[in-house]
Structure 1
Amino acid sequence: MQQILQFGKRTIPFSVQESSNRKTLSISVEDGQVMVTIPTGTEEKTYRQILHKKAPWVLKQLAEFEEMSTATRRILQFRSGEKLPYLGRYYRLKVQQEKIVAPKFRFFKGQFEASLPEQVSTAEHRDHLYPLYRDWIIQKGKTFADKRITRFTQRLGEVPSNLTIRSMEKRWGSCTRNRHILLNWHIFLAPVSMVDYVLAHELAHLKEMNHTPEYWNTLRMLLPDYEERKEWLRINGSQLYV
């Protein structure tokens, strides 16, 4: 249920979600969206008063998200000699144009290699190679995450029903009600420590779906320095959208 709170000259859109399992109200800001989770039966006047009191904190979280979203991005052109990121490292791209029908893309001996049809212009390199690069990252990222996840599930005592890597516009990851973990493929361009952070962040939701004190305690148990990693991603996250 979408609502609006007026705080001075600022308008704060927010959603309300009722939960019969909750005894207290919680407010979370994720990917520029404000969610108020309330115990079933909570009066509108009550949760609006609490949200109004927390408005300065909410606005700060929204401003930080906006800062990350609008930061200058480095757009790859996929030209020969350019370097492409994977797991925090950069690997040189070698492009050759040949008498072929379809583009080819692979990682071989420490560098990316691509072949393009002879008629493809330099300006069209990105159109042809970006999808192949994305698919390569998704494939390799899935294998990497499947191996990496065990270090957390063993301590957590919980396992997800599935793990999928895909394109996500506004999230680094999510955990569904049926325990399905989804990860944004761009996170695999970041250092391994950031992949671990997003994995742990979503896995902690297997214990607690909302960002309650219990949730943050669970995440801290998995990653004692999660706040530092979260801050790195806030500042540098937009640079991963290449």
Structure 2
Amino acid sequence: MGVVRIGQTEVAYELRRSAAASERRITVTPGHVEVLALTTDDDAEIDAFLDRKRQWLFNTLRELETKTSKRAVVPRFMTGSKIPYRGRMARLTVRRHDGAHIEIDYRNGFLVDLPSWVREADQDAIVATEIKLWLKRRVRRDVMDIAAAYRRRFDLRPRTIRVADMKTGWGACGPTGSILINWTLVFAPKTVLEYVVAHELAHLTVRSHGPDFWAHMATLMPDYERPKGWLDTHQGALDAAFLDVSDKASALATGHG
């Protein structure tokens, strides 16, 4: 292990050399920094590379710390763990049964029944995958129910409405009236999900975000400012990365040079 000093902070890193590498690289992952060097590099060349990347490394570590502090932390998918759902942390119970299939239910908490063929080493990844699938089905049903209610009350009829994994934004209304809703809103209170659905439905009538739009929103959802405020405050916490057990070691960023 090597150490690079950034101000008053010492950052430990693992040095790895590769004959196949064509350039040096720093990879930052939660709790780990790896420096990939060329087999021909001597200590001075590695130190010079780290010196050039000092500011990048500092910024990347700070960004990673900010992101991870906002994410839900589920160290193990086992009985007693907490899963974010509809604005609160729900208890997870994992049980074994003699059936052939994995079963999942929600009764004041997540209940996952695993058959005996599931190996202990695979439990975290399987439980996380099943919960993710369940959450996506749940939020799709919620979105369709909300949209149906607004259709009955206000005759708002999008061309299509679907729930998707959106990289940015919470919803979108296309020029043809097709609506997208971000599935990670399942982690927010249901009123917040309703606000986003109503917001995109409102764009069927008013495309801009000017005064006319917000006046229209007030007719659709008179108390929209409260869920809007919740989303503005907590949006950084609506992150599904904790469910990607197989991807926990993936890099936030990589520096080349």
Alignment match, 2:80: 81
One of 169, 173, 178 as aligned partner of 1:175: 173
Is the 1:99–1:118 Cα contact (8 Å) retained in structure 2? no
Alignment match, 1:201: 199
Whole-Å separation in 1 of the counterparts to 2:209 and 2:85 = 30
Whole-Å separation in 1 of the counterparts to 2:236 and 2:226 = 17
Question: Does 2:233 match 1:238?
Answer: no
Is the 2:72–2:84 Cα contact (8 Å) retained in structure 1? no
Question: AA paired with 2:86?
Answer: L
Moved more, 93-102 or 111-120: 93-102
Whole-Å separation in 2 of the counterparts to 1:129 and 1:202 = 33
Note the alpha carbon deviations across 1:91-110, whole angstroms, 9 max, x for none. Answer: 321224678998x2411544
Aligned pairs, number: 172
The 1:166–1:75 alpha-carbon spacing in structure 2 relative to 1, beyond 3 Å, is: farther
Alignment match, 1:95: 94
Whole-Å separation in 2 of the counterparts to 1:193 and 1:202 = 14
Whole-Å separation in 2 of the counterparts to 1:231 and 1:159 = 26
Note the alpha carbon deviations across 1:158-186, whole angstroms, 9 max, x for none. Answer: 21122212211212111122222211111
Is the 1:78–1:125 Cα contact (8 Å) retained in structure 2? yes
Is the 1:172–1:187 Cα contact (8 Å) retained in structure 2? yes
Unaligned runs of 5+ in 2: 1-62, 241-257
Alignment match, 1:220: 218
Cα offset, 1:231, TM superposition: 1.7
Greater RCO between the two (CA within 8 Å, min separation 6)?
2
Question: AA paired with 1:74?
Answer: A
Question: AA paired with 2:119?
Answer: Q
Over aligned residues, Cα RMSD in angstroms?
A: 2.8
Cα offset, 1:222, TM superposition: 1.3
Cα offset, 1:85, TM superposition: 3.1
Moved more, 165-174 or 74-83: 74-83
Whole-Å separation in 2 of the counterparts to 1:134 and 1:176 = 27
Whole-Å separation in 1 of the counterparts to 2:192 and 2:234 = 11
Mapping for residues 40-51 of structure 1, pairs under 5 Å:
none
Is the 1:97–1:118 Cα contact (8 Å) retained in structure 2? no
Moved more, 224-233 or 111-120: 111-120
Unaligned runs of 5+ in 1: 1-65
Whole-Å separation in 2 of the counterparts to 1:130 and 1:167 = 17
Whole-Å separation in 1 of the counterparts to 2:202 and 2:127 = 36
Q: Normalising by structure 2, report the TM-score.
A: 0.57
Return the index of the structure with the highest Cα Rg: 2
Note the alpha carbon deviations across 1:51-99, whole angstroms, 9 max, x for none. Answer: xxxxxxxxxxxxxxx9xx8462123232221122333344321224678
Question: Could you say what secondary structure the match of 2:70 adopts?
Answer: coil
Note the alpha carbon deviations across 1:113-140, whole angstroms, 9 max, x for none. Answer: 332755343xx64433323212111212
